[in-house]
A and B are shown apart, each in its own frame.
Chain A
Amino acid sequence: MSPETMTLFSPRLAARLDALVQKYPVKRSALIPMLLYAQDEVGYLSDAVISEVAERIGITELDVRNVATYYSMLRFKPAGKFNIQVCTNISCMLRGGYEVYERFQEELGIGHKGVTADGVFSLEEVECIGACCWAPAIQVNYDFHDELKPELVRGILDGYRFQAEGKAPHA
């Protein structure tokens, strides 16, 4: 992409994406990491993100959507500021993952793929996140919390609420 072209992304991300496209023998190999980084910065894959990524790689928007819709980690609607992914796969299930998941639902008043009204939290039930040894586990954005019990849920949420208040004003 030529430097004078408008971009949605921060200069840092734009530079990172520019480097990524050069990295593989075939440009489209860069598609998935590009989408992931773009989602991290923008929050979700908006139409504008899809169109810019397509243009950077030189494929159609349809191509981008074909790939992006396959992966449940890529989303097309904004998530909460903190996206809580609760594992209920086999190890976690055996060690009480469903109870933890239910407690999150009660505390937040939302279900699978829901977003709280203030936009601070979103909740997802996910498959194994690779933390089976410390099951049950959850992932909040890129942070892990493990060996959980339902009683610990409120404390975790309070911690993030505090962060949200301290660093970002309420919507």
Chain B
Amino acid sequence: MADVTFTVDGKILTAPAGTLLIDACRKAGIEIPAFCYYPGLSLQAACRMCVVRQEKVPKLQTACTTTVAEGQVFITESAEIAQARKATIQLLLGNHPLDCPVCDAGGECELQDMTFKYGAGESLYSEAKQHREEQQWSPAVFYDRPRCILCYRCIRMCGEGMDVWALGVQNRGVNSVIAPNGGDQLDCEQCGMCIDVCPVGALTSGSYRYKTRPWEMNHVSTVCTHCADGCKVTLGVRQVNGGAEIVRADNRDKSGINGDFLCAKGRFGFDFVENPERLTTPLIRNAQGKLEPATWERALRFAGEKLKEIRDSKGGTAIGVVGSNRTTNEENYLLQKFARTVLHTNNIDHERSTDYPAFALALAGHAGKTAGLGDIAAAPAILLVGGNPTEEHPLLAWTLRTSVRLNRARLYVANSKAIKLDRQARLTQELPPDGYKDLAAFLDLGEADFSKAVLAEESLVVVFGQECRGPAVADLVAWGLKRPNVRFAYLGDQANSRGAADMGLFPDLLPGYVPVTEPGGFAEYPGLPATPGKSLPAQFAAAATGELSAMLVVGANPVLGLGVSAEALKNTFVIVQDLFLTETAALADVVFTAVSLYEKSGTVTNTFGDVQMVKKAADRAGVKSDFEILVRLADAMGADIKTLVPFGKGGVLADLGQSRGAQAGEADRHSVWLAANNLEPRLSPFDPLAVLDEIERLVPGYKLDRINLLSGNPAHTELNLTPGFVPISALDGSDLAVPTHDGLFTSGTLGRYSPALNELEQHQTHEVAAPAGD
């Protein structure tokens, strides 16, 4: 709409006609207090805190419902307005307990702030306070009625924001209460968004309540370790004996791709970090066959010598490596480089859940065709093929709901099952379970209403789930590439599944999906083996036959996933890096105690290709990052660390046996690149940024916007292979992708160690009475 000009407190402001006065003021740095108003939710006008004086209007007006028009004049602070706001607060405090000193919200409570500002600390009402006992609605959500100011934010957030509609208001006047849908229980997605938006301490969280005060925590902004959507999360961290513990997770600063959204896993599922089952010292299997604690020095020396001996006697092909879907890009990159240049093997893989190589291949030669989450949020039309975002990609589901609600985006859902997002869809199309491969042809036919509507869209983002693999991915992408303005996103499983694939945890592909047979820039890797190695199942099969003498498993639990028996590994020397004694670690000969994503730095890539910085929040004694473990292991094997991690000056003096040209030994290509990019060499072999530099230098598509990245924003990567560069045979691994289908409260092996998630799962599956129908 056209801009209008109006005056607020003597300042001339301009905003599109119809903008809410409260928003226009906030944009201009004029703060108007508000309890019930919440950006993005419907208007309530329940609290009367936002009253302002509008010229020529007899009564005070609510800024949260007044839309600006040409020539209006407003006053937002005056004695009269202060008095009105003070009276509102007095009424609110009439039944509000004076328990700020013990209330969770104390220190970050909007009511407390406003009482300080307008001074209604003394109540003029003589009525006795109506006390009600606090209620526990679920393991995550507690309700304390006396503190509630009936702003309806929680109700609207749950209904409009989450599309769950689990909260309501009951009774009347002073007797009003917020009520959960299950009588005294909450049957919902347990996202905690209601707690998050509550302006006071009426809704409190099971995991944080009464633990600490806001000012006693440090706040670290990092990325969620659970699903592949990559929410920014602010971890509240408190010093404890032997380190720092996480006590809270939220995203109140609304930074990043998720705004204030977090699902139950991001908000409550951080407690695995403090699980008493965490391993705190390395373990070595002793002569009696039992794992016993060992020092880091001994464990590293033992593992390093053993690996070296096997490599030197049997060759790198006798060693297998399994990487992780949760470790950072730098760790994944380092792991494959370690495997290829130190262990001299291409036997490297990870637990694949998604056929990213097929996606990369389908997009080869087409730049700018992948959609980051921000692109999805801004898209006028989205075609969602397969998947169940509400359960498996809560942030994507939130983004789609928000976009349909606020931007009138058009959502088209093609799925073999009914999903909750059907409710937001403009049109849905049911597919047979094996019908995904025929979707492109069905759309092109243009007969059904669904196809017609999709074909009529001028700009489209196609988001597809793991039902699409191999040829189905190729067909769908080829369909979209024929049309203008179509971009794509592919839904993977875990926090860095995409990063694991992008960083080349494949037996046949180097980082950036570059085939090992035609390594391009990676030719500078000293001793890179040229033939593809063994996939994950093939590695275990080879271990069982004695062909594989050693395995290194980092942050993965393939023994559970593949059902590997102890017998099959009895002749293999197994090294595991993990937080817990998983089924895989239990069979290891050496276990290195690793840290979680919340205890390290680096970057991760979400399934939409958005790269984000991870920052170290918690800390504990006795554990090391996978990055450090790998560097130390390489060192224990006598490898040249400077070749592995480019740090200090004069790092990569790649002597590739040539005397001329780009491959000649005299050039230190890394320092040339650093200089060209105005970067200094990193000083420590344990600095993940040193590897990030190399990733940017060598990995196609990872040309990252550093400023954006370092300031906490996502930097989008491209899947841009050169056309015709990829031999198709090298990529046909579609049957190796096994989706994990983690739901709202599960998160692979890691999720099992989160008491909060287990309790929520228990609550939702057993304790909430089965709903009478939906």
**Chain A residues within 8 Å of B, Cβ to Cβ:** 51, 55, 60-63, 65-66, 69-70, 72
Contacts and interface: CB of A to CB of B under 8 A. Distances in A.
B772 A62 contact: no
Contacts of A63: 165, 168
Interface residues of B, number: 13
A55 B773 contact: yes
Given A51-B772, A55-B773, A62 B171 contact: no
A16 to B, nearest CB: 23
18 contacts: A55-B773, A61-B181, A61-B772, A62-B165, A62-B166, A62-B180, A62-B181, A63-B165, A63-B168, A65-B168, A65-B179, A66-B168, A66-B170, A69-B171, A70-B170, A70-B171, A70-B172, A72-B172
A60 B773 contact: no
Contacts of A65: 168, 170, 179
B172 A62 contact: no
Nearest to B170: A69
A66 B169 CA distance: 6
A62 B179 contact: yes
A19 to B, nearest CB: 23
Nearest to A59: B165
B175 to A, nearest CB: 9
Contact of A60 (B165, B171, B172): B165
A51 B774 CA distance: 12
Given A63-B165, A65-B170, A66-B179, 12 more contacts: A51-B772, A55-B773, A60-B165, A61-B181, A62-B166, A62-B180, A63-B168, A65-B168, A65-B179, A66-B169, A70-B170, A70-B172
A63 B166 CA distance: 9
Contacts of A60: 165, 181
Contacts of A55: 773
A70 B169 CA distance: 9
A106 B180 CA distance: 40
A72 B170 CA distance: 12
Interface in B179-231: 179-181
Which 3 pairs show the lowest CB-CB distances between chains A and B?
A66-B168, A69-B170, A62-B181
A63 B172 CA distance: 15
B172 A69 contact: yes
B46 to A, nearest CB: 15
Interface in B746-773: 772-773
A82 B73 CA distance: 60
Nearest to B166: A62
Interface string B61-75: 000000000000000
Contacts of B179: 62, 65-66
A138 to B, nearest CB: 23
Interface in B132-170: 165-170
Nearest to B169: A66
Contacts of B169: 66
A62 B158 CA distance: 13
Contacts of A61: 181, 772
A62 B168 contact: yes
Contacts of B773: 55
A69 B172 CA distance: 7
A69 B169 CA distance: 9
Nearest to A71: B172
A70 B180 CA distance: 16
Nearest to B167: A62
Contacts of B168: 62-63, 65-66
A69 B170 CA distance: 6
A99 to B, nearest CB: 27
A13 B180 CA distance: 30
Contacts of A66: 168-170, 179
A60 B169 CA distance: 13
A63 B180 CA distance: 11
Which one of B169, B170, B179 has the greatest number of beta carbons of chain A within 10 Å?
A: B170
B194 to A, nearest CB: 14
A66 B170 CA distance: 5
Nearest to B175: A69
A51 B179 CA distance: 17
B594 to A, nearest CB: 45
A55 B774 CA distance: 9
Interface in B66-122: none
A72 B171 CA distance: 9
Nearest to A65: B170
Contacts of B166: 62
B590 to A, nearest CB: 55
Which one of B165, B166, B168, B180 has the greatest number of beta carbons of chain A within 10 Å?
A: B168
Contacts of A70: 170-172
Contacts of B165: 60, 62-63
A72 B173 CA distance: 12
Interface string B580-602: 00000000000000000000000
Contacts of B772: 51, 61
A74 B390 CA distance: 37
A60 B772 CA distance: 10
Nearest to B187: A62
Nearest to A54: B772
Contacts of B170: 65-66, 69-70
Contacts of A51: 772
Nearest to B168: A66
Nearest to B772: A51
B213 to A, nearest CB: 34
B81 to A, nearest CB: 31
Contacts of B167: 62
Nearest to A64: B168
A59 to B, nearest CB: 9
B163 to A, nearest CB: 12
A107 B67 CA distance: 60
A62 B182 CA distance: 8
A51 B181 CA distance: 12
Nearest to A68: B170
A62 B180 CA distance: 8
A69 to B, nearest CB: 4
A159 B181 CA distance: 44
Interface string B478-495: 000000000000000000
A125 to B, nearest CB: 16
A44 to B, nearest CB: 16
B152 to A, nearest CB: 11
Contacts of B181: 60-62
A63 B170 CA distance: 9
Contacts of B180: 62
Which one of A51, A62, A63, A72 has the greatest number of beta carbons of chain B within 10 Å?
A: A62
A69 B173 CA distance: 11
A63 B535 CA distance: 54
Contacts of A72: 172
A139 to B, nearest CB: 20
A165 to B, nearest CB: 37
Contacts of B171: 69-70
A72 B167 CA distance: 21
A63 B164 CA distance: 12
Nearest to A69: B170
Nearest to B773: A55
A59 B216 CA distance: 44
B49 to A, nearest CB: 24
A55 to B, nearest CB: 7
B55 to A, nearest CB: 37
Contacts of A62: 165-168, 179-181
B39 to A, nearest CB: 24
A43 B773 CA distance: 25
B577 to A, nearest CB: 48
Interface string B315-356: 000000000000000000000000000000000000000000
A69 B773 CA distance: 22
